[in-house]
Amino acid sequence: MKRLALVGAGLIGREHAALIAAHPGASLEAICDPSPEAAEFARRMGAPFHADLQSMLDATRPDGVIVALPNQLHEPVALACIERGLPCLVEKPVADTIEAAFAIVQASERTGVPVLVGHQRRHSPDIRAAKSTIDEGALGPLVAVNGMTLFDKPDGYFVDWRRKAGGGVLLINLIHDIDVLRWLVGEIESVRAFTSSAVRGFEVEDTASLAIRFENGALGTFVISDAAVSPWAWEYTSGQALYHPTQPGACLFLAGRKASLSVSDLYLWRHDKPDGDWQDPLLREHRAPERSRTYVNQLDHFLDVIGGDAAPLTSARDGMLTLAATLAVARAGRENRSVTVAEMLAEAGALS
Ligand SMILES: NC(=O)c1ccc[n+]([C@@H]2O[C@H](COP(=O)([O-])OP(=O)(O)OC[C@H]3O[C@@H](n4cnc5c(N)ncnc54)[C@H](O)[C@@H]3O)[C@@H](O)[C@H]2O)c1
């Protein structure tokens, strides 16, 4: 049984608390959050409550910590956990800046204390199936990818911080897509982007279109908007998101030299003979995903990481590279030019 502490009992923190409470291999030993609502939530969950991190860590001595705080607090709390040798699951983005992310990377890599970043899609059955299909060589070398995250958020969602820098569709949503693209296709070398705030009129973007060059030579395109009605988003197609209905279908298309795959519906398209070309029919084969739940899988994995049985699937360094590529998109849109991930890392002193 692994004893877990939760820091931050807001929207996603409460989901983590419920997942821990339902897990046979984990116990929720304490909740830390200064808000009165969190105190009441802790009482309902039957978990000791602390308003202060250090006092919680002194009193509780957990085996691992889940950090579900506002982004700018990820760095100090993750560093405090690492200092005490406590593995932590830090929600995405790993930090609010590349510099802060790099501080976590350095602390984790220096001490060997593992940090798992909450990019939960890597634990999703559809993404797992896509990853193993690619890794087994069924698609051949990837040539081009195309993806979409298009949904409509309600007006009430846009409280103050979500209208300002750091709160737009890029850092809240696209960061998950970027992480999946890095995981499935490979490291991103550079991006170009158009970004727009024309629909909602906020300081932050509501819509973006991207062109992506991967280090392995594959090219990609992606469109994202939080102001468009559509079923083309992983939140719908995977059936794995916490707060959204399931709309079976695809939101990501991966095309290789041998075959192509749509995700989340996992149809693989290939020629029926090895020397087939565009004048020959394509066969469609369905690849059924395993039946499991993303967030449960992520918690299972975190428990393995705590036990020393697995390295984080999304390490602090992964989280930093995903953040850097996402911030590169924002800059590419602002400055109307191609931006490399290396330039983002160099500027933050995070190339080593
Ligand atoms: N992976 C996902 O699917 C997913 C979904 C939603 C949010 N997130 C991420 O999770 C994090 C939290 O997001 P949220 O939507 O739950 O935010 P939220 O605002 O609902 O909750 C944040 C909580 O942190 C508490 N808090 C603030 N300062 C604190 C401190 N010093 N010590 C302890 N607690 C403190 C607040 O009282 C609040 O309860 C963000 O990084 C966000 O990007 C991830």
- The alpha carbon of 46 and the centre of ligand 1 are apart by a number of angstroms equal to 20
84 vs 6: CA distance, rounded Å: 15
Q: Are residues 76 and 139 in the same domain?
A: no
Q: Identify the residue whose C-alpha is closest to ligand 1 atom 6.
A: 12
> What is the overall mean pLDDT for the chain?
97
**According to the model, what pLDDT value does residue 274 have?**
85
What per-residue confidence (pLDDT) applies to 164? 86
Give the three-state DSSP class for 135. Answer: helix
Residue nearest to atom 4 of ligand 1 (CA): 12
Tell me the residue range of the domain where 283 lies: 122-290+326-333
The residue whose CB lies within 8 Å of the most ligand 1 atoms, and thus the one to mutate among 6, 11, 77, is 11
Domain count across the chain: 2
Pocket of ligand 1 (CB under 6 A): 7-13, 32-35, 38, 68-71, 73, 91-92, 118, 120
97: CATH: 3.40.50.720
How far does residue 41's CA lie from ligand 1's centre (Å)? 14
Instruction: Tell me which residue has its CA closest to atom 40 in ligand 1.
Output: 70
Bridge partners (DSSP) listed for residue 64: 4
Q: Are residues 216 and 158 in the same domain?
A: yes
Q: Which atom of ligand 1 is nearest to the CA of 172?
A: 43
* Mutate which of 12, 180, 234, 242 for ligand 1 pocket (most atoms within 8 A of beta carbon): 12
Distance CA 344, CA 325 (A): 8
pLDDT at 276: 94
Residue range 71-86: average pLDDT?
A: 97
Per-residue pLDDT of 89-115, as tens digits, reads 999 999 999 999 999 999 999 999 999
Q: Is the peptide bond before 260 cis (omega within 30 degrees of 0)?
A: no
Per-residue pLDDT of 137-177, as tens digits, reads: 999 999 999 999 999 999 999 988 889 887 899 999 999 99
> Does 286 lie in the same domain as 141?
yes
Q: Among 54, 91, 226, name the best residue to mutate to test ligand 1's pocket (greatest count of ligand atoms within 8 A of Cβ).
A: 91
Average pLDDT over residues 32-52: 96
Ligand 1: nearest atom to the Cα of 242: 3
Any domain includes 345: no
Q: Whose CA is nearest to atom 5 of ligand 1?
A: 12
The number of the ligand 1 atom at minimal distance from the alpha carbon of 12 is 16
Ligand 1 center from residue 211 Cα (angstroms) = 31
> 154 and 273 in one domain?
yes
Q: To the nearest 10°, the Cα dihedral for 113, 118, 119, 124?
A: 110
Give the domain CATH number at 202: 3.30.360.10
Q: State residue 162's pLDDT score.
A: 87
> pLDDT-based confidence at 324, cuts 50/70/90?
very high
For residues 312-322, give the mean pLDDT.
98
Instruction: Report how far ligand 1's centroid is from the alpha carbon of 218 (Å).
Output: 35
Q: Which atom of ligand 1 sits closest to the CA of residue 120?
A: 1
Helix (H) / strand (E) element for 208: namely strand 207-214
In a domain? residue 299: no
What pLDDT is attached to residue 344?
Answer: 98
Looking at the predicted structure, is the pLDDT value of residue 53 above 90?
yes
Across the range 103-130, mean pLDDT stands at 98
6 belongs to a structural domain: yes
Please name every residue paired with 90 in a beta bridge, in sequence order, or none if there are none: 67, 117
Atom of ligand 1 nearest to the CA of 14: 16
- pLDDT surpasses 90 at 88: yes
Query: Does some domain include residue 172?
Result: yes
Tell me how far the alpha carbon of residue 91 lies from the centroid of ligand 1, in angstroms. Answer: 8
Do 99 and 220 sit in the same domain of this protein? no
- CA–chain centroid gap for 290, Å, is 20
Q: Rounded to an integer, what distance in angstroms lies between the CA atom of residue 229 and that of residue 241? A: 17
Is residue 303 in a domain?
no
pLDDT at 243: 87
CA distances from 62 to 34, 143, 246 (A): 19, 46, 36
Report the distance separating Cα 141 and Cα 177, nearest Å: 20
